């Protein structure tokens, strides 16, 4: 908003020729915001609508020609250079290229009005050597429609509000109110509403607001943070929680080594085989180590590669051949783990044991369902995702991870799995699996947990061939174990309300503090707050090096 306010004020104070230059240059920073600012400047009457919106339109058109030229004369290498790498991603260009192949030059016009497609579409037009005359004319037509719609809307709103604002001599309120209505109203809702895809993306935003399972952590966690603070006061220490698992650094609060945890569980039939690949080792040496790992355990692709310290599925990839493994290892800048791929269904099994108890118990089981859409022989994958009543809520993510095959048309009845990584934030559906708890499963989990000295509280991510195998406690493979910051993820079952989620997690945190306090009284080390903050900062720095 500061950009709009300052730009609009500068525009009205400039000579006409300088205002044209300022508006044109500003479009290279932000086309839409400049268009709104130009419309607001026109609302004052000190610059005509023709000059304000005309200059904005000219700047936008010149920018479009620049994207076309970059695509034509530099091509894909430009995606690795500033400023293109900041705004255009390779998978978006791939999707736009497919769009061109199917619909022709008319996509140049449509790209102006479909959110998120404008930059990659115009870049792809140049890369695919679309005729310059055809491109420039289609792009000009799009600007002739777009600029008056956006800039004119801002001008009309500004004129309605201006008399009231001038009464109170507050220009800032004029820019703020008009910009909010014009930009968010037109760009986020009005323009998208003219296309089916745009309307479905509006539905996606609505579902992510109204269904709490899609809320971001900063919105969901404040009530829990208050409860955790109360528990810390009760136990006279906030960092006491790090004593919950003396066998894991900081109890598994942040930055723990996934490979170290798997090794601590022992070499049993229930643990996936894995190996650490250190980032300090040259690429070829890491690839040799990967080959040696496969040969030693008679493994073949697919394999799982993941950062040795990571959360919420960040950087996890399933590689299906040596080429994909090489690409992953070439990108990652932190230590990573290579694991055997365990087929079957995935579950989250939350276990805890009080130090004074003879046996632990299963607090929660989560059934992880990988979303599938089914083809009808007519609609492509993109349309099927947007049409699905649940998949549309995660449409932005699903469309990104499935970009190379969005225009594939599945056969009637053919199922297409949208994701492979069992994390809720990466699109997997979480359901309450409490009925799967059996004495046999509890005995197996207890046996596994007892192999790890100093482990009392955390969630196992487990693969099993079927639910029957899980109930029987057989043929299980632990693919990961998370410590102090684990969640009882069955709360994300759509049948649960946000109040159910808060209630369950309050009980989880109460148990954590009770176990940690008991361990502290037995002499378990407690990580200081300064050490925790240092570990958190280090994790945030290294997490930027995760691929994907």
- Rounded to the nearest angstrom, the gap between the alpha carbon of residue 404 and the centroid of all alpha carbons in its chain is 18
Give, in order, the Cα–Cα distances in Å from 17 to each of 12, 60, 136, 155, 335: 12, 17, 25, 20, 56
| DSSP one-letter string for 465-485 | S-HHHHHHT-S-EEEEEE-TT
Task: Give the pLDDT score at 122.
Answer: 74
109-141 tens-digit pLDDT? 666 666 556 677 777 777 766 778 877 888 888
Ranges 73-82, 399-408, 439-448: which has the least confidence: 73-82
* Contact by Cβ (8 Å): 98, 127: no
Cis before 396? omega within 30 = no
CA-based torsion, 177, 181, 182, 188: positive or negative: positive
Is the full-model pTM beyond 0.95?
no
pLDDT band with cut points at 50, 70 and 90 for residue 169: very low
200-241 tens-digit pLDDT? 988 998 899 899 999 988 889 998 999 999 999 999 888 899
254-296 tens-digit pLDDT? 778 899 999 999 888 899 999 999 988 999 999 999 999 999 9
Query: Coil, strand, or helix at residue 457?
Result: strand
Residues 6+ apart with CB under 8 A from 411: 375, 377
The residue written with tokens 């369902």 in the block is 369
Distance CA(192)–CA(146), nearest Å, equals 12
Q: Counting runs of H as helices and runs of E as strands, what totals does the chain give?
A: 22, 11
| DSSP one-letter string for 64-105 | HHHHHHHHHHT-GGGGGSTTHHHH--HHHHHHHHHHHHHHTT
The residue written with tokens 């309307």 in the block is 199
- Rounded to the nearest angstrom, the gap between the alpha carbon of residue 286 and the centroid of all alpha carbons in its chain is 28
523: which 2 tokens?
């002499």
Distance CA(469)–CA(492), nearest Å, equals 24
Nearest to 210 by CA among 392, 384, 367, 366: 392
* Segment (H or E) for 432: strand 429-432
Q: Is the pLDDT of residue 529 over 90?
A: no
Total residues found in the chain within this entry:
548
> Crossing angle of helices 283-297/322-331, nearest 10°?
140
Distance CA(116)–CA(96), nearest Å, equals 11
b/e per residue 418-437 (b: at least 16 CB within 10 A): bbbbbbbbbbbbbbbbeebb
Give, in order, the Cα–Cα distances in Å from 131 to each of 126, 252, 323: 8, 58, 36
Residues in a beta bridge with 345 = 464
pLDDT band with cut points at 50, 70 and 90 for residue 18: confident
14: which 2 tokens?
């400039």
The residue written with tokens 């950087």 in the block is 315
Phi, psi of 416 (to 5 degrees): -120, 115
Distance CA(203)–CA(290), nearest Å, equals 44
* Contact by Cβ (8 Å): 310, 258: yes
């Amino acid at each position: 908003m500061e950009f709009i306010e300052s730009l609009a004020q500068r525009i009205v104070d400039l000579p006409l020729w300088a205002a044209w230059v300022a508006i044109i240059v500003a479009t290279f920073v932000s086309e839409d915001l400049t268009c709104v600012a130009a419309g607001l400047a026109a609302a004052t009457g000190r610059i005509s609508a023709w000059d304000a919106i005309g200059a904005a339109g000219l700047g936008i058109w010149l920018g479009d020609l620049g994207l076309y030229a970059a695509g034509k004369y530099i091509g894909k290498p430009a995606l690795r250079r500033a400023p293109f790498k900041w705004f255009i991603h390779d998978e978006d260009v791939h999707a736009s290229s497919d769009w061109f192949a199917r619909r022709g030059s008319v996509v140049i016009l449509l790209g102006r009005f479909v959110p998120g497609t404008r930059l990659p579409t115009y870049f792809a037009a140049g890369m695919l050597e679309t005729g310059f005359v055809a491109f420039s004319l289609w792009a000009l037509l799009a600007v002739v429609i777009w600029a008056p719609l956006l800039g004119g809307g801002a001008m009309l709103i500004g004129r309605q509000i201006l008399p009231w604002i001038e009464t109170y001599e507050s220009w800032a309120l004029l820019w703020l109110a008009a910009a909010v209505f014009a930009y968010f109203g037109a760009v986020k809702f009005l323009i998208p509403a003219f296309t089916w895809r745009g309307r479905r993306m509006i539905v996606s935003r609505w579902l992510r607001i109204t269904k709490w399972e899609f809320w971001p952590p900063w919105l969901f966690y404040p009530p829990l943070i208050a409860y955790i603070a109360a528990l810390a006061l009760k136990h006279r220490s906030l960092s006491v929680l790090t004593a919950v698992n003396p066998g894991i650094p900081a109890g598994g609060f942040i930055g723990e080594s996934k490979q170290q945890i798997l090794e601590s569980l022992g070499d049993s039939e229930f643990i996936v085989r894995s190996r650490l690949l250190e980032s300090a080792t040259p690429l070829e040496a890491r690839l040799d180590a990967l080959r040696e790992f496969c040969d030693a355990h008679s493994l073949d692709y697919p394999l799982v590669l993941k950062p040795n310290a990571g959360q919420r599925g960040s950087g996890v990839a399933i590689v299906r051949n040596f080429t994909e493994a090489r690409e992953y290892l070439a990108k990652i800048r932190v230590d990573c783990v290579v694991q055997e791929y365990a087929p079957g269904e995935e579950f989250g099994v939350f276990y805890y044991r009080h130090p004074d108890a003879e046996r632990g118990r299963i607090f929660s089981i989560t059934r992880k369902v990988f979303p599938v859409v089914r083809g009808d022989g007519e609609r492509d994958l993109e349309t099927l995702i947007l049409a699905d009543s649940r998949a549309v809520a995660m449409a932005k993510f699903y469309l990104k991870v499935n970009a190379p095959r969005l225009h594939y048309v599945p056969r009637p009845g053919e199922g297409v799995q949208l994701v492979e990584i069992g994390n809720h934030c990466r699109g997997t559906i979480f359901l309450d699996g409490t009925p799967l708890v059996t004495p046999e499963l509890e005995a197996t989990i207890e046996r596994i947990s007892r192999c790890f000295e100093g482990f009392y509280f955390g969630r196992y991510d487990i693969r099993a061939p079927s639910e029957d195998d899980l109930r029987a406690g057989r043929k299980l493979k632990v693919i990961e174990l998370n410590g102090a910051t684990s969640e009882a993820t069955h709360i994300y079952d759509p049948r649960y309300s946000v109040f159910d989620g808060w209630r369950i997690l309050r009980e989880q945190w109460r148990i954590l503090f009770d176990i940690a306090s008991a361990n502290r009284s037995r002499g378990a080390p407690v990580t200081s707050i300064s050490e925790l903050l240092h570990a958190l900062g280090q994790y945030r720095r290294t997490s930027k090096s995760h691929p994907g």
